[in-house]
Amino acid sequence: MAKATHSVSRSLAAHAILAAYTVIALFPVVVIIINSFKSRKAIFRSPLSLPDEETFSLIGYETVLAQGDFFLYFQNSLIVTVASLFFVLLFGAMAAFALSEYRFRGNSLMGLYLALGIMIPIRLGTVAILKLMVASELVNTLTALILVYTAQGLPLAIFILSEFMRQLSADLKDAGRIDGLSEYRIFLRLVLPLVRPAMATVAVFTMIPIWNDLWFPLILASAEETKTITLGAQVFIGQFVTNWNAVLSALSLAILPVLVLYVIFSRQLIRGITAGAVK
Amino acid sequence: MSASEKTKRPVRWHIAVFLAPAVLVYTAIMILPLFGTLQLSLFREVDQQQVFVGFDNFRILFGDPRWSDSFWNALFNNTWFFIIHMLVQNPLGILFAALLSSPKLRFSVFYRTAIFVPTILSFVIVGFAWKLILSPLWGIAPDMLSAVGLKSLFAPWLGKTEYALTTLSLISVWQFIGIPMMLIYAALLSIPDEVLEAAECDGITGMSQFWKIKLPLILPSIGIISILTFVGNFNAFDLIYTTQGALAGPNYATDILGTFLYRTFFGFQLQVGDPNMGSTIASVMFLIILAGVSIYLFGIQTRLRRYQF
């Protein structure tokens, strides 16, 4: 009995700590979203109250959407993120398969070489990357961003995926070989479907920094037609620094897509980390 | 058996095909530019010609007062930024993970998601939201403090040189605490039940179970988190840039190596951009990070005992 009350008070304490921090974690996000639906006066008068009939207003969203470029920025971000993610997952899985499946000379050296990039941030090469992109006339194209993000995402992807692929049973693959499947088919048909949870983990960890990156869009693709939504929102805030309605709506619109993407992948995330390399 | 069979085959082209795309992109966009940057730091532009100057740029960066004051200031600030993360972010992350991993805790998925939400937000949103909340003008923070009678505690935390850097570090902690939490959570989940049951049979439960059994088992994860924090912090830029601008105000109080690199490379206001000095700063950052990673790999990780279940 004494033990039971003890554990009740312990779990109450746990809930108190977690709930308190949840409020801190969500507070700024909630403030932005509720105020984006309010009239200008209400934002200043009572920033913490929910919008009601009197204070509800969509003027901010109207301003943002009338501005028009937001859709273009959104589209750019989506293209860059999806394309980079595709290449990171495909190239990463291919390389991870080669490293984990075959024994060849230089295997572990190659693994070490590819893992270097996990620790050394690609940003430190910015000066030379810009030179390279200028020389190949890729400045202010989405291709430049996709190339950079693919390179940035590959090391971690290869590291996590090869740890996973090592755990797959060899019998299945050997059975495939006996049935006459080529190595490419074994990779595509047998291995890829089995590492899907790991792919989700890699996808989340690759996607978030790409979607949110400010540095490379600022440097490599700051032209109007190649701006990403992060850079666009940054510029927008500068332009409308006194139009709180528009700024808050723009921020809310920028929060939404990444939240949706996270919810889609999050189920696999914990499973991926638990089974994965970072034990 | 497959390995020995395969070695007899002459050339296994598929290995090259599998490796080629990743290795090519990675080498061309990451490794070569990194060496390109290191190389640029050894040159200087004289009459539109790149002239080899050896380690002269480094000497200027460390010694010439026009450069070294900014550099040491940025390095010092960056170190403080890192210390705050180590003291606040990682212990709190471990605490949350430990609470979340206790069995039969309700709403744990909700808590986990809520605490992770700031991590997926972009710096633009984070910086702006906190600027609004802490602004003396817009005033959510002053109003909230006066509601509980603590108005006197309020200060323009982002605008004063003595508080700004610490405030920004705490905002960054708020944003990234989800990562140590998730990694430690996963590490705690992967401790097998038998180990914990055995501990319970020996009468080790509750807090002492955490300190005596779980903590030693998750030490490698804590090591990884520390090194990730180190690399992330010495590479930070976006948060300072979005809240305080490229000048890292007030009066450079929040200038870290990332913003210093940006200003040097691209120039700002009256200063002209200087790719060679920019490369020099990037090279120093590279060496700092490399040193940190090496100390971790050879000094710490090899001493941590890894348990195989």
Residues 6+ apart with CB under 8 A from B216: B305
| Spatial contact of B117 and A26, defined as CB atoms under 8 Å apart | yes
* Rg value, chain B, Cα: 24
Is residue B21 a part of any domain in this protein?
A: no
Task: Note whether A26 contacts B7, CB cutoff 8 Å.
Answer: no
Backbone angles phi, psi at A39, to 5 degrees: -75, 160
Prior bond to B91 cis, omega within 30?
Answer: no
Average pLDDT for A45-53:
75
Residues 6+ apart with CB under 8 A from A139: A130, A133, A220, A221
Is residue B78 a part of any domain in this protein?
A: yes
Nearest CA in chain B to A26: B114
- DSSP letter, residue B102: S
**Which of A208, A239, A278 is best to mutate for the B interface (most B CBs within 10 A)?**
A278
* Length of chain A measured in residues: 279
Within an 8 Å CB–CB cutoff, is residue A95 touching chain B?
yes
Is residue B282 a part of any domain in this protein?
A: yes
One CATH from 2.60.120.890, 3.30.230.20, 1.10.3720.10, 1.20.1250.20 for A2-273: 1.10.3720.10
**Which of A5, A18, A220 is best to mutate for the B interface (most B CBs within 10 A)?**
A18
Task: Note whether A270 contacts B18, CB cutoff 8 Å.
Answer: no
| Spatial contact of A145 and A79, defined as CB atoms under 8 Å apart | no
Is residue B24 a part of any domain in this protein?
A: no
B1 pLDDT exceeds 60? Answer: no
Backbone angles phi, psi at B49, to 5 degrees: -120, 140
Of B115, B241, B290, the CB nearest to A214: B241
- DSSP letter, residue A179: T
Distance CA A262, CA A260 (A): 5
A262 pLDDT exceeds 90? Answer: no
Nearest CA in chain B to A49: B140
* Overall number of domains in chain B: 1
Of B34, B224, B289, the CB nearest to A125: B34
Q: How confident is the model at residue B75 (pLDDT cuts 50, 70, 90)?
A: very high
Query: Within B121-214, where are the H helices?
Result: 123-134, 140-147, 161-176, 178-189, 193-201, 206-209
pLDDT of residue A140: 92
Tens-place pLDDT, residues A180-214: 888 899 999 889 988 887 888 888 888 888 988 88
Q: Which residue has the higher pLDDT, A86 or A209?
A: A86
The residue type of B291 is A
Determine whether B140 is exposed, middle or buried from the number of CB atoms within 10 Å of its CB (0-12, 13-18, 19+): middle
C-alpha distance from A7 to closest chain B C-alpha (Å): 9
Q: Over pLDDT 70: what percentage of chain B?
A: 92
Tell me the β-bridge partners of B172: none
Question: Kindly report the CA angle at A181 between A177 and A182, in degrees rounded to 5?
Answer: 100
Distance CA B157, CA B140 (A): 13
Mean pLDDT (chain B) is: 85
Question: Kindly report the CA angle at B90 between A14 and B75, in degrees rounded to 5?
Answer: 155
Q: Which residue has the higher pLDDT, B172 or A74?
A: B172
Determine the structural domain holding residue B120 and report its residue range.
56-303
Is residue B184 a part of any domain in this protein?
A: yes
Domain CATH code at residue B90:
1.10.3720.10
Number of other CB atoms surrounding residue A40 within 10 Å: 15
Tens-place pLDDT, residues A134-160: 999 999 999 999 999 999 999 999 988
pLDDT of residue A2: 47
Tens-place pLDDT, residues B225-283: 898 899 999 988 888 988 888 887 788 888 999 999 988 888 877 777 888 899 999 99
- Judge if ipTM > 0.90: no
